[in-house]
Structure 1
Amino acid sequence: MNIPLARLDFPLLSAEDRADIEFGVSRRCDFIAQSFVRDRAEVSAVKRLVRPRLPGCKIIAKIEAREAIANLDAIIDAADGIMVARGDLGVMFPLWEIPILQKRIIKKCNLAGKPVITATQMLESMTASPNPTRAEVSDVANAVLDGTDYAMLSAETAAGKYPVEAVRAMNRTIKYTEACGGDFARCRQ
């Protein structure tokens, strides 16, 4: 549950969290995406559970909570990678602040040499339509230009009617944007 402006004191890891982590470790997962990370201690707690049994597993801290923004540098330092989880950030902050928060998180990750994933509603219209909107394509391209390492699809591929088309649209947009880079004159006019 996401309650904006509330500081909820709950255990670092619930019984369900521990069971999910155990499931991932038992299946030798490559990554664990840790939701609602608030500070370095929470990332460290998951690492202590995972690393003795699965040293290569990477911990991705999902930045979704207001406290995570306040503790961003320490979280980036502690985690193996960061996910800009825009859906819950959009509940915690006014929507118009999300693009700047996204850019700030990506830049800090780039400077720290940590991989960063931009997620949530990248091509959301493709859950029901075979084509993305112009705004969605621009959103993906801008995330790439900002320096995101990965753009993640969620509902588009998990529950959408056009999962293959969504992957193709994302792939085309990313490849074209990366080919152009910051040299816009080099791109097709």
Structure 2
Amino acid sequence: MYNTLLLLSALLFLILQSTLFQLIVWAPLQGAVPSLVFPLILFIGVHEHSLARGAALSFIIGYTTDLIGIAPIGLFSSTYVAIFLLARAIGLRFATQTALRQMGLTFPFTLAHSGLIIILLAIFGRDAYVPRTLYRFIFPHAVATSFISPFVFRFAQFIYITITPFQGNSKRIPF
């Protein structure tokens, strides 16, 4: 049930993100469209107990992003799994308790993810000019994603608290 709700919320975030892209095109700062799914991947990486289940969720969310977006198939599915594993390896469970720390966690991870996307597009992409035109959107995208991340973390934490049963004497803080 928890995995299904995470996948459905990721699909909802993807649809909302594509709608935001159409609405924010007129903004004076180009590229300031947040990624609503990326903080969800970080949440899964920080809070998921099973490595296989978290990697599978990240892969499915990335593959759905590839299908809905215009990215080459496998681009986001591989990078989302890599970011999940990086967040899991670093183990930043303590860093996601306040909104400021969530934003501080999301910003460098978004920069790393965007850089990885541009590097992979430069290596495997058909057009060599695409990475050259996308590099200037990295910083506004990272700032916008970090500003929206506390809301996504709260939503994912709400799903986590509501759906998963309390186990033993573990005390979970809802927000």
TM-score by shorter chain over 0.5: no
Instruction: Calculate the TM-score normalised by the size of structure 2.
Output: 0.31
Higher relative contact order (CA 8 A, sep 6+): 2
Relative to the length of structure 1, the TM-score reads 0.29
Say which structure is richer in strand: 1
Which protein has the larger Cα radius of gyration, Structure 1 or Structure 2? 1
Which structure shows the bigger proportion of residues in helix conformation? 2
